[in-house]
């Protein structure tokens, strides 16, 4: 590994100026840095993946004492990634705080009441809209506006650990304030908005908040049962908020869309990596789960019918959340 020097410092600076970087985006940055350092012209296309890997390794060695790390992840959403579905989505690099707590991170730019609102939004995404029946993990603009009221959250009473950190005296935000917070979280790269208008956590937010999300939403309930609301892809082991789930609702088997293909190519049959039952590929995690859950039962029995007569239950005005009780 290289000794950390001015080249790596410059690279780290470049990283701090943006929330994420791809290999292609790193090429002109590294070309400029190496050119300046070696007093000779290096073209962006001459910067290889292994050059980037070396820089990342050296920088990570230097910044780990400050709880910082450059992490990598792939986009989970196939629509927004490579056109060719046979190639995996582009690798995204992000400089993240490894001890990151979403709420502490926001403390410098947001008020306590705004942070309490963000917590209600996250609770909604990862608890209320992330049930055994439907793992949506998204929130509509309309639902976010509903959460502007401080008392509007239906707190779980099961996670003892978080009850203590709950800010009980948060004030209401106006709808406009709530809207502004959602907008700036999106601009800052924490949230992404889908074509249907639903918000989800960005790849960068997932890289940064992975540890915090697990400690916050995977917990032992009052009956001593583990509630693992945050799940991981059985193939790549990364967090999953968009992808496919096992046909058996009780099974924790999950796979990213882009991991499914490679994974089953290596298997004899398309079976769940956890329980070995058949994998239909018709059960989803993410926005599609909400659409699927909103679809009437009988139409789900016929695939052809489902595809042709696909309604759009999550219109802009719609609420993408379905509770367990609204079955059928």
Catalog residues that contact Zn ion under the rule CB under 5 A. 233, 235-236, 246, 248, 251, 253, 256, 259, 272, 274-275
Q: Which is nearer to Zn ion, 147 or 259 (CB)?
A: 259
- Closest approach of Zn ion to the CB of residue 264, in Å: 13
Q: What is the C-alpha to C-alpha distance for residues 139 and 191, in angstroms, rounded to an integer?
A: 10
Q: What is the DSSP letter of 91?
A: E
What's the min distance (Å) between Cβ of 262 and Zn ion?
9
How far CA 327 is from CA of 5, 40, 300, 323, in Å, comes to 60, 66, 13, 8
DSSP code per residue over 184-229: HHHHTTSEEE-TTSEEEE-HHHHHHHHHHHHHHHEEE-TTS-EEE-
Query: Quick one: 231 or 256, whose CB is closer to Zn ion?
Result: 256
Residue whose CB is less far from Zn ion, 4 or 232: 232
Beta pairing class for 20-22 and 91-97: antiparallel
Minimum CB separation of residue 263 from Zn ion in Å reads: 8
Q: How far apart are the first and last CA of the chain?
A: 58
State which residue, 89 or 253, has the beta carbon closest to Zn ion: 253
| Of 81, 88, 87, 59, nearest in space to 71 by CA | 59
Q: 79 or 154, CB closer to Zn ion?
A: 79
- Cα separation, 173 vs 53, whole angstroms: 44
State the minimum distance, in angstroms, from the CB of residue 283 to Zn ion: 10
Beta bridge partners of 73: 92
Q: Please say whether the beta carbons of 234 and 255 come within 8 A.
A: yes
Q: How far is the CB of 260 from Zn ion (least distance, A)?
A: 8
At its nearest, how many Å lie between Zn ion and the CB of residue 76?
8
CB distance 251 to 257 below 8 Å: no
**Minimum Å distance from CB 274 to Zn ion?**
4
3-class SS of residue 73: strand
Residues listed for the chain? 328
CA 284 to chain centroid, in Å, comes to 15
Q: Least Å distance between CB 252 and Zn ion?
A: 7
């Amino acid at each position: 590994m290289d000794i950390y020097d001015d080249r790596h410092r410059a690279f780290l600076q470049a990283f701090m100026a943006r929330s994420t970087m791809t290999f292609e985006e790193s090429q002109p940055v590294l070309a400029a840095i190496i050119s300046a350092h070696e007093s000779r012209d290096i073209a962006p296309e001459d910067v290889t993946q292994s050059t980037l890997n070396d820089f990342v390794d050296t920088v990570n060695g230097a910044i780990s004492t400050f709880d910082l790390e450059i992490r990598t992840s792939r986009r989970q959403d196939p629509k927004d990634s490579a056109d060719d579905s046979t190639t995996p989505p582009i690798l995204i690099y992000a400089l993240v705080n490894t001890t990151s707590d979403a709420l502490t991170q926001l403390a410098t730019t947001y008020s306590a009441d705004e942070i309490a609102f963000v917590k209600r939004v996250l609770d909604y995404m990862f608890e209320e809209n992330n049930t055994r029946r439907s793992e949506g993990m998204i929130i509509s603009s309309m639902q976010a506006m509903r959460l502007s009221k401080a008392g509007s959250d239906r707190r779980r009473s099961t996670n003892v650990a978080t009850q203590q950190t709950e800010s009980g005296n948060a004030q209401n935000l106006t709808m406009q304030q709530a809207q502004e917070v959602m907008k700036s979280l999106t601009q800052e790269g924490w949230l992404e908005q889908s074509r249907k208008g639903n918000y989800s956590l960005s790849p960068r937010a997932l890289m940064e908040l992975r540890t915090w999300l697990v400690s916050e939403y995977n917990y032992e309930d009052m009956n001593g049962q583990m509630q693992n609301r945050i799940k991981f892809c059985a193939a790549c082991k990364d967090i999953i908020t968009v992808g496919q789930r096992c046909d058996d609702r009780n099974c924790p088997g999950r796979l990213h869309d882009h991991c499914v293909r490679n994974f089953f190519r290596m298997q004899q049959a398309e079976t769940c990596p956890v329980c070995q039952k058949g994998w239909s590929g018709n059960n989803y995690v993410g926005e599609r789960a909400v659409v699927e859950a909103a679809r009437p039962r009988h139409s789900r029995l016929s695939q052809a019918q489902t595809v042709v007569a696909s309604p759009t239950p999550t219109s802009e005005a719609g609420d993408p959340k379905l509770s367990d009780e609204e079955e059928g």
